[in-house]
Copies of this chain bind each other. A is one copy, B any other.
Amino acid sequence: MTDQTERVRAVIDRWAQAIRDKDLPVILDAHPDDIVMFDVPPPLQSRGMDEYKATWDLFYQYSQGGPGSFELVDLTIHAGKDVAFAHALLKIGGPEPVCRLTLGLVQRDGQWLIQHEHHSTPTSE
């Protein structure tokens, strides 16, 4: 377990807690302007901070009322000096994982930033 792994884990934990808290400014924090988001619902991709923010507006539109649930299961982090990625399953409002999450992070000016998110559920034919 490297120091970088722990630093990346802290960024991910803070982001996930902000999602549960519905704290949009903290959710958006630690993301660069070139964020590329692949979310569960359409569109195919969202690029840049305005489009990234819109995905969370949509998420909360479908989860109004009640406390948020967004729990990472089996989180695995691979962290190098300036590039890292992580994958996990996601419990969202239920006891079993229903989503998959992959994050790509880059360290810029000494800060780890989430440059890429990929959230999905399996799609049957």
> Is A9 at the interface (CB under 8 A from chain B)?
no
Residues of B with C-beta under 8 A to A44: 89, 97-98, 100, 122
- Residues of A14-60 contacting chain B, CB below 8 A: 36, 38-45
A98 to B43, alpha carbons, bound, how many Å?
10
Residues of B with C-beta under 8 A to A116: 78, 85, 87, 102
Count contacts on A: residues with CB < 8 A to the other chain: 36
Partner of A83, one of B43, B85, B118: B85
| Complex A-B: 26 CB contacts under 8 Å | A36-B87, A38-B87, A39-B122, A41-B122, A42-B124, A44-B89, A44-B97, A44-B98, A44-B100, A45-B100, A78-B115, A78-B116, A79-B83, A80-B82, A80-B83, A83-B85, A84-B85, A85-B104, A85-B116, A87-B116, A100-B120, A102-B102, A102-B116, A104-B104, A118-B118, A120-B121
